[in-house]
Amino acid sequence: MKSFGVHLFFLVFLAPIASLSVQAFTGTYGINYGRIADNIPSPDQVVTLLRAAKIKNVRIYDADHSVLKAFSGTGLELVVGLPNENLRDVSANSDHAMNWVKDNVLAYLPDTHIRGIAIGNEVLGGSDEFSGFLLGAVKNIYNAVDKLKLSHIVRITTAHSQAVFANSFPPSSCVFRDNVVQYMKPLLEFFSQIGSPFCLNAYPFLAYMYNPEQIDINYALFLPTEGADDEKTKLHYDNLLDAQIDAAYAALEKAGFGEMEVIVTETGWASHGDDNESAATPDNARTYNYNLRKRLAKMKGTPLRPKKVLKAYIFAIFNENLKPGPTSERNFGLFKPDGSISYNIGFHGLKSSSADSTLLPLKDIRARGWSGFYSIILTTSTALLLVLSR
C-alpha cells in the first residue's frame, strides 16, 4: 500500500500532467478479463499472457485487489467495475462511494494504470432490480473521483446490452425502448456533461442465434456477403457488427446525443455450445475474432460515423467454467484455462497448443502498418505513462 505522501504527490503534481496525455483506451483493441472460474491462471500469469499478446486495454468486472496488484507497473490500462449488487449502497451513500474509490482506485494509483470505472453491467433493459440506482451510483462515484482530482484520469461509464433498443433493423430505425427511456435519458445527459461514451455490449453471435433464418452467417462473421442496405440513410453494411453499432448511434441521435461516441465493451463468439447452438464452433469463433481483429486494425469508423474510429473490448480472455446458462456462456475465451490458445488468431498462449498449427496469417494487418506504426504509438505512450508514474 502506498503512503499518503505518494498519493498526495500524485494528485498535486502528476494528475494535471496525466490529464493532458492519458486516454481511457489506447488504440482500438482491448479484452475482458472475466474470472468466473476455478481453473484459470493467476493474475500474474495473465499479465504475462497479455503483454506477450500486446493487448494493452483490459476490463474486469470488479476491483479485485490481487488483480490490481498484479497489474502494477505493467503499463496495462485497466477499467475496474462496480458490481450491480453494490449499486444500491453506493447510490444511497456518497461516503460509501468515496471509500470505494479510495480503497479500489486511489490506493493503487499511479503504479496500476486504472483508467476507468464501469458502474454496473447491463443494468438497463432487463429486470428493473437495479435500474433506479444506476444514475445515483454513477453520480456519487464520479463526484468522489472528481473530489480526488482523478476525473481527467479515470473515466466513468456503464455498459448496456442491446436489450435497451427497439427496432434495431435497419439501423436508422433504432430507438431506446419505452421502459428504458426514463432511466436512459438522465444518464445520457450526465454522461454528456462529463464526456463519457456510450458503452455497448454487441454480439453478432447472439443476433444470428436468435434469427438464423433472416441473418446470413457470413454477414455476422465479416465474410464476403451481399450485406444489407439502410433505405433511409442509403448506407450499405457489409457486416452485422457495424450495423449494430450504427443502430446505437441512431438511437442516441434521436434521444438528442448524436455527438456521443459508442465504444464496444463486449463482443465475441462462442467456440462451443449446446445442441441448439450450432453456430458455436471453434471455426466460427476463430473466423469472427480474427476478422474482428483485422477490422479494428484498419482504425476506421462505421458507415454512419466514419470519422469515429471503432474501439472494442473482446469477450473474453478465458473460458469460464463456473458461468451459469447455456454451454456457450462458458466458451467465449480466446485462451483455455491452462493458458494455451483456444484457436489461433495470431496470439500465443502460455504454453503450446494444437491450435498453433492453424495459424491464420496476419499479413493483412501488417500490410496496413499496424504492427509497425501502431506499436510505436503504444511504446511511446507506455514510456510516457511510466515516466509519469515514477
Angle (CA) 355-357-362 rounded to 5° is 95
The reply to whether 266 belongs to the active site is: yes
What DSSP line would sit under 39-78, residue for residue? Answer: SSPPHHHHHHHHHHHT--EEE-SS--HHHHHHTTTS--EE
Cβ atoms of residues 300 and 356 within 8 Å: no
The closest of 297, 273, 295 to 284, measured between CA atoms, is: 273
Helices (H) and strands (E) in the chain — how many of each? 14, 12
Of residues 122, 189, 226, 253, which has the active-site annotation? 122
The reply to whether 122 belongs to the active site is: yes
Q: What is the 3-state secondary structure (H, E, C) of 307-334?
A: CCCCCEEECCCECCCCCCCCHHHHCCCC
Angle (CA) 291-293-295 rounded to 5° is 70
Q: What whole-number distance in Å separates Cα of residue 123 and Cα of residue 138?
A: 12
Q: What whole-number distance in Å separates Cα of residue 58 and Cα of residue 32?
A: 6
Cβ atoms of residues 372 and 50 within 8 Å: no
Amino acid at 11: L
Of residues 85, 213, 259, 266, which has the active-site annotation? 266
The closest of 385, 219, 373, 243 to 297, measured between CA atoms, is: 373
Q: What whole-number distance in Å separates Cα of residue 245 and Cα of residue 124?
A: 18
Q: Which residues contact 343 (CB under 8 A, 6 or more apart)?
A: 271, 282, 283, 285, 286, 289, 334, 355, 358
Look up residue 277 and give its three cell numbers: 447452438
| Peptide bond between residue 170 and the one before it cis (omega within 30 degrees of 0) | yes
Angle (CA) 208-301-211 rounded to 5° is 10
Kind and range of the H or E run holding 90: helix 87-92
Q: Residue 376: is it exposed, middle or buried by C-beta count within 10 angstroms (0-12/13-18/19+)?
A: exposed
Q: Which residues are catalytic?
A: 122, 266
